[in-house]
């Protein structure tokens, strides 16, 4: 059977590796970190997965936490004015739940599962020279090493990456101690502070307990953007809570007692949305293929990165299998990426809309508050962004859609979302 090497044991690499093993391939998966180092380290991301990506995981039998962890069962979003008053609130039950598992729990468990299903796991911080060796000995090398790896191997695609820098500074905390009833604890919530940033909160499974992910997306230079001076994770969380107390006093009570689940349960970052060329040409002339964050990275505001890493890994798996015994040429790699781009560009557009809201987003949010069907279409859009194509992105299309749904954009607030 054909031999595939995968570099990077994260969301994309593990999904792809286990999927290919199940299809009878010989797979070597290379991780720069041992399962223990991942388990006891800092998270690199804190993703929530939506139903389509979760279903892909379930199809491979990787949903180990389904029974232990009650998911996000409700979505709620509100817009706040500069005084901290809620000017618009939307919420609905989620017919298909969302789920966020600590990658520090998930990846070591999936690594173990990969070995149990017959894969070879190698611990090695892979270099370009190592890639050359893998390229000589395997039919295909797939690089899934995440957002900060191999950036010189996969050139930035300037046309697909107009952003010159990040739009948000991000802080994320895995915590316990959220105050609220059972429904609050299982609600995925986004509070929009126009021109300042977003407060994001969702149930999170970490350390064998139901926790809360608190994420802060701070517009650069805004009042919320105040993490650079902190000296410890605890201080960082304290700064985040103080900012919330100032910006949204009625939210503060719920999060006042949050504590980190452990000293490493936090991260700080800033992501410049970037698309890279999917083919990495090695000095010898051999080529490797990039999948996941290594070639497509999103700000996490719309929760798209790990969902897309899973979907892209799934597409690549299916196309590898279809390829049979034919060689994995660079034209094939490009074709598979182009096929994925046709859908993922909507994911990018959705993320851009939330980072830099267009004027008509305000009307759409008012529509969501008036008509549950519109909110259901939006949550389906988070799950499957191409479904937003016909109504969400362009002002005229949004206006026609709202008219069809009998929604009247009657409320306007200051400053507008587009502030």
Ligand X SMILES: Cc1cc2nc3c(=O)[nH]c(=O)nc-3n(C[C@H](O)[C@H](O)[C@H](O)COP(=O)(O)OP(=O)(O)OC[C@H]3O[C@@H](n4cnc5c(N)ncnc54)[C@H](O)[C@@H]3O)c2cc1C
Residues 167 and 355 sit within 8 Å (Cβ to Cβ): yes
Q: If you write DSSP's letter for every residue of 268-329 in order, what string do you get?
A: EE----EEB-SEEEPTTS-EEEE-GGGTEE--GGG--HHHHHHHHHHHHHHHHHHHTTS---
240 scored as a contact of ligand X (CB under 6 A): no
**229-235 long-range contacts, Cβ below 8 Å, gap at least 24?**
233/173, 233/260, 233/263, 233/264, 233/265, 233/266, 234/260
From 19-27, 43-51, 382-390, 404-412, span contacting ligand X (CB under 6 A): 43-51
146 scored as a contact of ligand X (CB under 6 A): yes
Give me the least distance between CB of 172 and ligand X, in Å please.
Answer: 4
Q: How far apart are CA 91 and CA 75, in angstroms?
A: 5
Helix/strand/coil percent split, the chain, to 5: 40, 25, 35
Interface residue with ligand X, options 21, 54, 94, 149 (CB under 6 A): 149
33 scored as a contact of ligand X (CB under 6 A): yes
Interface residue with ligand X, options 7, 105, 206, 279 (CB under 6 A): 7
110 beta partners: none
Question: Of 144 and 370, which CB lies nearer to ligand X in the complex structure?
Answer: 144
32 scored as a contact of ligand X (CB under 6 A): yes
From 54-62, 145-153, 272-280, 392-400, span contacting ligand X (CB under 6 A): 145-153
> Mask: binding to ligand X, 271-310, rule CB under 6 A, as x and -?
---------------------xxx-----x--xxxxx-x-
- Please give the radius of gyration of the chain, using alpha carbons only, rounded to the nearest integer: 21
Give me the least distance between CB of 411 and ligand X, in Å please.
Answer: 28
Q: Which two tokens stand for residue 172?
A: 């994320």
Interface residue with ligand X, options 2, 6, 8, 192 (CB under 6 A): 8
Give me the least distance between CB of 149 and ligand X, in Å please.
Answer: 4
211 scored as a contact of ligand X (CB under 6 A): no
Main-chain phi, psi angles of 204, to 5 degrees: -145, 135
Q: How far apart are CA 73 and CA 92, in angstroms?
A: 9
Give me the least distance between CB of 124 and ligand X, in Å please.
Answer: 7
Question: Of 111 and 417, which CB lies nearer to ligand X in the complex structure?
Answer: 111
Give me the least distance between CB of 397 and ligand X, in Å please.
Answer: 26
Interaction residues for ligand X, span 369-408 (CB under 6 A): none
User: In degrees, to the nearest 5, what angle opens at C-alpha 155 toward C-alphas 152 and 158?
Assistant: 140
From 40-48, 381-389, 392-400, 411-419, span contacting ligand X (CB under 6 A): 40-48
Q: If you write DSSP's letter for every residue of 184-224 in order, what string do you get?
A: HHTEEEEEEETTTEEEEEEEEEETTEEEEEEEEEEETTSTT
17 scored as a contact of ligand X (CB under 6 A): no
Burial letters for 269-283: b for 16+ Cβ neighbours within 10 Å, e otherwise?
bebebbbbbbbbebe
Interaction residues for ligand X, span 170-209 (CB under 6 A): 170, 172
Q: How far apart are CA 50 and CA 46, in angstroms?
A: 13
From 142-150, 278-286, 339-347, 406-414, span contacting ligand X (CB under 6 A): 142-150
13 scored as a contact of ligand X (CB under 6 A): yes
236 scored as a contact of ligand X (CB under 6 A): no
Q: How far apart are CA 79 and CA 85, in angstroms?
A: 8
Interface residue with ligand X, options 17, 19, 47, 197 (CB under 6 A): 47
Number of residues that bind ligand X (CB under 6 A): 36
Number of Cα atoms under 13 Å in the Cβ half of residue 215: 28
From 4-12, 235-243, 366-374, 410-418, span contacting ligand X (CB under 6 A): 4-12
Question: Of 197 and 292, which CB lies nearer to ligand X in the complex structure?
Answer: 292
Give me the least distance between CB of 263 and ligand X, in Å please.
Answer: 17
Which residue number is nearest to ligand X in terms of Cβ?
Answer: 10
Residue ranges that bind ligand X, judged by CB under 6 A = 7-13, 30-33, 44-48, 125-126, 144-146, 149, 170, 172, 267, 269, 292-294, 300, 303-307, 309
């Amino acid at each position: 059977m054909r031999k595939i090497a995968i570099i990077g044991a994260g969301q994309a690499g593990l999904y792809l590796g286990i999927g290919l093993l199940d299809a009878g391939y010989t797979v070597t998966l290379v991780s720069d970190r041992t399962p223990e180092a991942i388990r006891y380290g800092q998270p690199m991301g804190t993703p929530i997965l939506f139903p389509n990506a979760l279903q892909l995981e379930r199809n491979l039998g990787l949903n180990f936490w389904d029974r232990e962890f009650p998911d996000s069962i409700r979505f709620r979003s509100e817009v706040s004015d500069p005084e901290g008053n809620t000017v618009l609130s939307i919420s609905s039950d989620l017919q298909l739940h969302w789920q966020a598992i600590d990658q520090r729990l998930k990846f070591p468990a999936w690594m173990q599962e990969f070995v149990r299903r017959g894969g070879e796991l190698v611990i090695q911080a892979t270099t370009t020279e190592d890639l050359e060796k893998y390229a000589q000995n395997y039919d295909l090398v797939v690089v899934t090493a995440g957002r900060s790896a191999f950036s010189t191997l996969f050139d930035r695609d300037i046309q697909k990456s107009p952003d010159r820098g990040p739009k948000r500074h991000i802080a994320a905390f895995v915590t316990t101690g959220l105050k609220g009833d059972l429904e609050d604890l299982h609600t995925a919530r986004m509070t929009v502070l126009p021109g300042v940033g977003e407060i994001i909160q969702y149930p999170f499974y970490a350390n064998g307990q139901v926790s809360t992910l608190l994420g802060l997306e701070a517009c650069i230079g805004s009042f919320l953007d105040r993490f650079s001076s902190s000296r410890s994770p605890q201080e960082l969380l304290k700064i985040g809570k103080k900012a919330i107390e100032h910006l949204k006093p009625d939210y503060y009570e719920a999060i006042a007692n949050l504590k980190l689940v452990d000293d490493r349960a936090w991260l700080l970052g800033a992501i410049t949305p970037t698309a890279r060329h999917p083919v990495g040409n090695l000095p010898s002339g051999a080529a490797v293929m990039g999948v996941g964050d290594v070639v497509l990275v999103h700000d996490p505001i719309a929760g798209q990165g790990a969902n897309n890493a899973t979907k892209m890994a799934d597409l690549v798996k299916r196309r590898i299998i279809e390829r049979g015994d034919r060689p994995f040429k660079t034209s094939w790699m490009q074709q598979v990426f182009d096929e994925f781009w046709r859908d993922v560009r909507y994911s990018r557009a959705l993320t851009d809309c939330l980072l830099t809201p267009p004027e008509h987003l305000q009307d759409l949010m008012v529509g969501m508050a008036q008509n549950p069907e519109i909110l259901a279409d939006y949550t389906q859009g988070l799950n499957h962004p191409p479904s937003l194509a016909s109504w969400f992105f362009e002002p005229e299309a949004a206006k026609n859609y709202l008219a069809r749904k009998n929604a009247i954009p009657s409320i306007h607030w200051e400053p507008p979302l587009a502030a």
